[in-house]
Chain A
């Protein structure tokens, strides 16, 4: 089963609008990351938020983390057509030792010009 699950599965908005994607996870975590994937390409790291952080910004991106609800959100402000991509959250599953970074199924964002 997946640790992180994104919601919605797909999102279509107009250029200039804000896009919000959510990620829920099941077990406690040490950190949560967001990645972006253009169609048919590799993933690109966007931002990492640690379990003791509540909010983080990077340019037009704003990430929040609520560990009590086991959820995170990614907000893209003033979206552009170039933001069209799939967005994935990845969590570490809070496991000590080994490699346990698990990706969700992603949110497909389509920004209409």
Chain B
């Protein structure tokens, strides 16, 4: 089945540690995105990538880093510089970068900082 796979689903981290969230898609989509969701708030864009080896900062990129070495993969690293990393992280993809296209979402990764 085609779709987006995020792992791990749950992750616990001690303060000061970097963690990497995985996002893999087999939809052959060019564009991929990372969002952060906090309780009672909408999704906020962290980073997005239009094509392999290219990515752009979203609205809340500070404390995060990404890479896009393969079309299928768009991992997100939450660094120790992120002051409040506890959140639900969602990865999405679309056929190409567009504001008119449907976004396909993974099931999310919940990060808790202890």
Instruction: Identify the A interface with B (CB < 8 A).
Output: 2, 4, 9, 30-31, 33, 35, 40-45, 48, 50, 88, 90, 92-93, 95, 98-106
Nearest residue, chain A, Cβ from B43:
A103
Chain B residues in 8 Å Cβ range of A44: 105
Chain B residues in 8 Å Cβ range of A105: 40-42
Instruction: Identify the B interface with A (CB < 8 A).
Output: 4, 6, 31, 33, 35, 40-43, 45, 48, 50, 56, 58, 88, 90, 92, 97-100, 102-108, 110
Overall SS of chain B's interface: strand
Whether the pair B105, A43 counts as a contact (CB closer than 8 A) is yes
Whether the pair A101, B99 counts as a contact (CB closer than 8 A) is yes
- Our pick among A40, A50, A88, A98 for the contact of B42 (Cβ within 8 Å) is A88
- Our pick among A2, A30, A42 for the contact of B99 (Cβ within 8 Å) is A30
Whether the pair A42, B90 counts as a contact (CB closer than 8 A) is yes
Whether the pair B105, A48 counts as a contact (CB closer than 8 A) is no
Whether the pair A88, B103 counts as a contact (CB closer than 8 A) is no
Overall SS of chain A's interface: loop
Whether the pair B42, A43 counts as a contact (CB closer than 8 A) is no
The docked-state distance in angstroms from the alpha carbon of A55 to that of B47 is: 33
Whether the pair B40, A40 counts as a contact (CB closer than 8 A) is no
Nearest residue, chain B, Cβ from A31:
B100
The docked-state distance in angstroms from the alpha carbon of A2 to that of B58 is: 14
- Our pick among A33, A40, A100 for the contact of B108 (Cβ within 8 Å) is A40
